[in-house]
Amino acid sequence: MKSTSIAHTGMSTNLQLQSKNDNGITSFIMSLSTLPAPHAENSVTICVTDVLGDVYCVVCEDGKRVYEHIARAFLAGKHVCLSFKNGEEISSAFLAEVFLRLYTSFSEAKIENSLSLVDVEPEDAADIACVIHDVKDYLKDPQRFREAMIEVLGDDLE
């Protein structure tokens, strides 16, 4: 069972995802700024729709393109404000591609200290939190996920 709550606290939104499992409750909290991204020298704003040239953020390959922009900024020592301004559709597949690549390439601390999400609708924020939670679970035990997929899809997974 997953529950998502969004609490508005002044100038930011705290998104909290709680997942109940057999071992207890796992919580995830992400801050989403509702203000324009800061224009500090060590900060860069990446607008997803500008990168894609489209308001639809649905294709995995597009997630890879967004990841590449974020990764270049991280490697340059920049804080990234990832803007979803004008995004009309944001798919879980797109988000999974972005965040799986990020969490595979960078530490959790780096991501959480160097990435802010802005211009995000509450429903999309909930999807982002779920995807990040799933990515972290997957990276803890990828073989368990592979076995579950084979059980559902059969040996023709490849």
The tens digit of pLDDT for each residue in 28-57 reads 444 444 334 445 679 999 999 999 999 999
In angstroms, the CA 156 to CA 158 distance is 5
C-alpha to C-alpha distance for 16 and 5, rounded to whole angstroms:
5
E strand or H helix that includes residue 45: strand 43-47
Count of residues making up the chain = 158
Strand 24-33 to strand 2-9: parallel, antiparallel, or no bridges (unpaired)?
unpaired
> Which stretches of the chain score pLDDT less than 70?
1-40, 156-158
What pLDDT does 111 receive?
95
Q: Give the pLDDT confidence score for residue 158 in this predicted structure.
A: 56
- 8 A C-beta contact, residue 52 and residue 64: no
Instruction: Output the DSSP codes for 82-122.
Output: EE-TT--EE-HHHHHHHHHHHHHHS-HHHHHHHEEEES--H
Q: Which residues lie closer than 8 Å to 78 by C-beta, 6 or more apart?
A: 42, 43, 44, 114
Show the tokens assigned to 132.
Answer: 């990040």
Condensed to tens digits (0 to 9), the pLDDT of residues 58-67 reads: 999 999 999 9
Are the CB atoms for 130 and 3 separated by under 8 Å? no
